Amino acid sequence: MKKFFTVIGGMGTLATESYVRAINHRLTITRDQDYLDYILVNNASVPDRTGYILDHSKPSFLPALLEDVQQQSLLKPEFMLMVCNTAHYFYDELAAATDVPLLHMPRIAVNKLIETYPNEEKIGLIATRGTIADEIYKDEVEKVGREVELGGPEIQPMVDDLIYNHVKQTGKVDEELYYHILELMHDKYHVNVIILGCTELSLAQELAPNHPYNVVDPQSIIADVSIEVALKIRQGEPTDEVLQPYLK
């Protein structure tokens, strides 16, 4: 297989499945060959990302991801991406371990957010405790001159419940809980745009999109970027030129 890309997933598996559905179903298909060429690494054995970020005595997830990146690099994909927000804690180490371009999903999502909502000064964020603690999105949002709003102490326990007890365990979304979190962020904490900083929240959005709130879904955005880039490379455009806007 030539001119393919690699998806490093499995964190969690059902969220990765949501990404795969997106890149498969957003294409216009008339034959088998119209689908994208990619390798999916569903490494469900990667240690818990949030667990390590909050407590470094627990197993690090860097060795497993480093092994994935190095193994895939031998196959020479055109680019790689990780469909896990919290895994970007080790983005710099992983990108340095390969000559293959590694897309930065949170950075791409924030750039898209600014393009779509250029006048929003305060951006809401709901995510795992690990993503909140490592400030992946806070750093990216502040780089573009905006402020992150996490909400009050009642928000995170509800987000944890939605992610771990509903989406991860059952593959289903508690719509009432999801919508209530968005409502609180909008009405009580006065944010008009909310980043879904966990791929389980991306799955929640896929399953329960019927709400009036503006959300920025990084997994959905990286799916669109994957399609755009992969199709241009397939059509013969130079990989470096196609990827350049997404590697800033």
> Are 231 and 160 contained in the same domain?
no
Residues 93, 180, single domain; the answer is no
Task: Identify whether residues 177 and 194 lie together within a single domain.
Answer: yes
Domain that holds residue 56: 5-104+220-246
CATH classification of the domain holding 133? 3.40.50.1860
> Could you state, in chain order, the average pLDDT of each consecutive group of 10 residues for the chain (248 residues)?
97 97 96 97 97 97 98 98 97 98 98 96 97 95 97 98 95 96 98 98 97 98 98 97 93
On whether both 111 and 211 belong to a single domain, the answer is yes
Q: Is 198 a catalytic residue?
A: yes
Number of domains in the chain: 2
pLDDT at site 66: 98
- Angle made by CA atoms 65, 66, 69, in degrees to the nearest 5: 85
Q: Which residues pair with 215 in a beta bridge?
A: 194
Those residues whose C-beta lies under 8 Å from the C-beta of residue 94, and which sit 6 or more positions away, are: 62, 65, 66, 69, 82, 102
Whether 12 and 81 share a structural domain? yes
DSSP 92-127: HHHHHT-SS-B--HHHHHHHHHHHH-TT--EEEEEE
Same structural domain, 100 and 119: no
Catalytic residue among 81, 84, 108, 159: 84
What confidence score (pLDDT) does residue 248 get? Answer: 79
Of 103, 198, 230, 233, which is the active-site residue? 198
Q: What CA–CA distance (Å, rounded) separates 99 from 73?
A: 7
Query: Quick one: 95 and 157 in the same domain?
Result: no
| pLDDT at residue number 165 | 95
Integer Cα distance of 225 and 200 in angstroms = 19
Place of tokens 């480093």: 66
Q: How far apart are CA 43 and CA 34, in angstroms?
A: 26
Residues 89 and 36 in one domain: yes
